[in-house]
Structure 1
Amino acid sequence: MSDRATRAVVVDDSHFMRTLLSDMLEDGDVTVVDTAANGAEAVAAVREHRPDVVTMDLQMPEVDGLEAVERIMDDKPTPILMLSAHTADGADVTFEALEKGAVDFFTKPGGEVSTRMSSKEDQLVRKVKAVAEADVSGRGAVAVDSTGGSAAGSVATDTREYRDGATVVIASSTGGPTVVESLVGSLPRDADLRVLVVQHMPDAFTSRFADRLDAASEYDVSEATGGDRIGGGEVLVAPGGKHLVVAGAGGGRLRTKLNEDPPEHGVRPAADVTMRSAAETVDGPLVGVVLTGMGADGAAGAEAVHDADGHVLAQDESSSAVFGMPKRAIERGCVDDVLAAGDLPGGILDAVKLEVNA
């Protein structure tokens, strides 16, 4: 994007919220070119103004946020930031919006109409500007088949043998939930991996995210609760608001704990915390994966994995909604392979396969 101000359309059925959000964005040098009170108006505003980004409410009369996302992505693909209630029900609908093409979401503190939004002005402006940078042209669900490879180059796994006790740590942020779901859902159970997922999202959302991964995967997926022990074929998701730490390893299992130490890079959970602790503790094969996201989280952790003789993968720019996190890791010189989202499962399996001498 050029140096010109980011141009936004604000969509919310509350006149108060439209005014509040517009004022917050304008204060942050985001130009609000139009507002809309429902999904139908949003589609028309996008068609007329071609904004860089849309902030989209979920619950609206006539045409709701879900249908509006679908229509916009079919008509004039545009980066969309969902504004979601900080509730479990809000999480479920938000994940549906991400499946339909929305890039990311921002939770409203205090409900649908919230005077507390003003306290989140800086975070909202940063998120809107980051989402505006996303390339949504031709983006869709990551095509990954059950053999652990992309549709373009699948990896046969039926004759593959894997190294024992392999651990995978995944770092993900903006644009990441659908990528993580496709990646974890494609890992074959016979690889017997221990997988830790750090996805930047609030606490009301991570438990629902773990449920979605569990439904999509052959692995047993749960949200970390503190003191968990994870073995092969299991996935732990870091809960919103807490860092996930690998505290010990032995007997083929990892012992984990949670803490509320200060955020790193402005986020908690931070992937750097999990990756560093894994690099210090894990005694078997270790793979670090840095996916799409804004900021620098995961770069220092990836370097720690690399320095511990682990293998580091990064999502490539063309398949990343926001190339910030992978780019920072690549710039550190610690990334072994840069792969499209659909090729990451095969990259993980290549890193943990058992080498057989001819």
Structure 2
Amino acid sequence: MLDISLLAWAVTVGLIVALLAVDLVLAAARPHRVGFGEATAWSVFYVLVAIGFGVWFTVQFGGEFGTEYFAGYLIEKSLSVDNLFVFVIIMTTFAVPEEHQHKVLTFGIVLALIMRAIFIALGATLLALFSFMFLLFGLLLIYTAVQLFRHRDQDPDVEDNVVVKAARRFLPITGGYVGGRLTTRVDGRRVFTPLFLVLLAIGSIDLLFALDSIPAVFGVTEEAYIVFTANAFALLGLRALFFLVSGLLDRLVYLSTGLALILAFIGVKLILHWAHVDIDPRVPEIPTPLSLTVIVAVLAVVTVASLIKTRRDPTAKAHAGSMRAHDPKQADTGHDHRAEG
């Protein structure tokens, strides 16, 4: 059992909040188009921060917990790349000006951290009280994996998001972005800008992504501190990663397939753990080092295979994947459970 003091929690949360504050200040104070060089520098910085934390954590608490952290971080990082597909779709659908994309992404990450912190606390409590939750989490991940694989060549319809549709119906929305504001006044009346709709779309998608990512990371560790830090450090680099790889995402044609395999593997791991604890201790469990190896291998194979595929067939294009079939000709098909990947 990992024993994390209140001081360690406070320092960790303080570090994450400080990094977020820097992003928010940069987004608000100097709206601009983020270039390749700037995005690369920030991406490297966040990866080094995550690795540095992992090294400190391993030295402080031992190799077993360190392995769990790095496995959790890799899972969340790979799922966050899937998030990027949907962020690109949202930015394109709502025609967000480049100078405001930084702000949108930063607020989206803040919302994601808040929602995932809530899910982590809830998930850790449920797992501590009811061991059969491992079975339910495992079945959820396997179901998600199967559906994601079945519809791996589709993209979600952001306009079909129930939250966005409701906002369009009940709220007055301006035609332009009005300098990146969320609201403005027109003829003395308070109205919302399209940027508000974008934040609603990203916020609702963040919520649904948490339903998949939290059970997945609980598959490699039961420690709430590791789950939180793995999520936080993976999400902190998401804003910079968006600007770095948004033009390259179309080449990752097998990413949804790889994520489906990882989610299914973690689902099986959770079910075996439940069976080991509740049914028979002779039921084998999948050790975390093996989980880390499988995750790294799947991501490596997916990346190389995708690059080979797109080199041989330049017309091949990656998709975010979805939880169920979507007919773009139907305006009211209902929103996808993951809506985003």
Q: TM-score range by the shorter chain?
A: under 0.3
Choose between structure 1 and 2: higher strand proportion. 1
Q: Please give the TM-score of this superposition, normalised by the length of structure 2.
A: 0.26
TM-score normalised by structure 1 residue count: 0.25
Report which of the two has the higher share of helix: 2
Higher relative contact order (CA 8 A, sep 6+): 2
